[in-house]
Amino acid sequence: MIFCTSGWVNARIVFSLGLVAIMAAACTTSSDSSPELTVNPPATTTAPQQSGDGIVRIAAFLPATGPGARIGTPMTEAVRLAVSEINAAGGVLGNPLEVNFVDEATSLDLGIVLQSDVDAIVGPASSLNALSMLDQAVDAEVLACSPTATSLLLDRFPDANLFFRTVGSDSLQMSALARAAARTGGGSLTIVHLDDPYGRGLANSLETAVERRPSLTLVATVPFSGSDPDLADDAASILETGSRVIAVLGDVADGARMLSAIDAALPNDAGSIPPFVVVNDSLRGATDTIATISDRLREQIIGVAARALVTTVDSPDGYFSTNAYDCVMLIALAARQAGSDIPRSIANQMASVSSGGRLCSTYAECAALIDQGLQIDYNGRSGAVDLSATGDLSRAWFREFRFDESGREYIFNETGVEISP
């Protein structure tokens, strides 16, 4: 995913039809990964959160300029749509929901945003930004809901239960990848990963997911260096494990190099069947490299990526726009359930309004049930958005993809795969 959300520090969203990587909201490259993320939040003094004044104020902190605007602009429009529908249905706490739009691409400090009596933030889109800025929001006791930040580091970020995501974490992506590996019927699996924090994090998560798959046996976990110009020996040792499934986890450049090395190391025997290869979402952008590998290996590759588009709904349009829309809806419904615009009170109800009650799919419908004193289960535009106690989705939808002769990915599982952690 690319602005920067998927990956270890950030992920990437690279789509079919020649769409370029979208920047740092879902992007992941080993160069911007770091073991402990040594990016320090700016030293900004934020005013302590005031008591509620009856008006819910949201800051949409999404990219409006630069490469990230390709996903940021549609998500911004989705936020506008959600706010419009909420206010048309009477607003929240008897007042219109207020929203302020801030360009994530140019505003690198949340301080000004947090000083404007904001109760909640929709964003950041970028995992890197979330990791470097979230401390400020937590210190100000303002909740945040990101539609795209998938980094594994955010799974355990000390967010005081104020950070939420309507997109599945990369840990869930690894659960989906394990399921895809199991469904090949290969049985034995070797995990190959880029030896950096991004790759190691994915590999550890995949190992955990494989342990829950009795039909899979983990044979080996093999790291490789992105600085090594020749991966031939690594590829040969990987094939020598005899695993019928190989998981290649890495960024678009080095992950693609490993695929090429594995292809070159395959036996020349025309009758031999290459192992299945399962890859993470970053490899969707390796179009040029995938186009050069042999047909026999390319036909064995299966990738897994978060569902970015929901084709069963008319609007909002754009990648991850339904996720942004659902962030706004959940915030508004949680505030209504809490009867307060105090961020902590809203945060305490985010999981409650997302699962376990009467199903509803529009703000007006859900609000009417809340007003009757009923527990609700908001099913959003992006699908079921059941939030766990930690603020992450307890299940998420993923799509499996393959590659054609030109190296472009295509979705072969249109309905998506629902994976529980």
Give pLDDT, residue 15: 31
155, 196: one domain: no
Instruction: Tell me: do 235 and 113 sit in the same domain.
Output: no
Helix (H, G, I), strand (E, B) or coil at 207: helix
Tell me the HSE value of 397 on the side-chain side, using a 13 A CA sphere: 19
Q: Are residues 326 and 281 in the same domain?
A: no
Contact assessment for residue 335 and residue 312, using Cβ atoms and an 8 Å cutoff: no
Structural domain containing residue 302: 171-307+396-419
- Cβ atoms of residues 148 and 13 within 8 Å: yes
Following DSSP, what letter does each residue of 99-143 receive, concatenated?
EEEEETTT---SHHHHTTT--EEE--S-HHHHHHHHHHHHHTT-E
- Give the pLDDT confidence of 94-150 residue by residue, as tens digits: 999 999 999 999 887 777 778 778 999 999 999 999 998 999 999 999 999 999 999
% of the chain with per-residue pLDDT over 90: 70
Mean predicted lDDT score pLDDT of the chain: 86
Domain assignment present for 270: yes
pTM: 0.83
CA distances from 79 to 146, 333, 365 (A): 12, 15, 19
> Strands 57-62 and 163-165, how do they pair?
unpaired
Q: Could you give the 3-state DSSP secondary structure of residue 202?
A: helix
Q: What is the pLDDT of residues 287-343, one digit of tens each?
A: 999 999 999 999 999 999 988 888 777 778 889 999 999 999 999 999 999 999 999
Residue 418 has a pLDDT of: 64
316 & 302 share domain: no
379-397 per-position pLDDT tens digit: 999 988 999 888 999 888 8
In the chain the first and final C-alpha atoms are separated, in Å, by 20
> What is the reported pLDDT for 417?
59
125 and 271 belong to one structural domain: no
Same domain, 127 and 63: yes
Specify the CATH number for the domain of residue 347: 3.40.50.2300
Per-residue pLDDT for 45 more than 60? no
**Average of per-residue pLDDT across 160-169:** 95
Residues 251 and 273 in one domain: yes
Of 47-61, 162-176, 300-314, the one with minimum mean pLDDT is 47-61
For the chain, percent of residues with pLDDT exceeding 70: 86
Residues 245, 348: one domain? Answer: no
389 found inside a domain: no
Are 95 and 62 in a shared domain?
yes
Q: What total number of domains does the chain contain?
A: 2
Q: Give the whole-angstrom CA distance, residue 347 versus residue 49.
A: 14
Q: Which residue has the higher pLDDT, 420 or 45?
A: 420
Q: Same domain, yes or no, for 344 and 359?
A: yes
46 and 74 part of one domain: yes
Give mean pLDDT, residues 12-20. 32
Mean pLDDT value across residues 17-41: 35
128 Cβ contact list (under 8 Å, min separation 6)? 4, 9, 10, 24, 27, 32, 39, 151
Angstrom distance (rounded) from CA 311 to CA 376: 25
Residue 241 to residue 263: CA distance in whole angstroms:
15
How many residues comprise the chain? 421
In the predicted structure, residue 73 carries a pLDDT above the cut 90: yes
Mean pLDDT of 359-371: 97
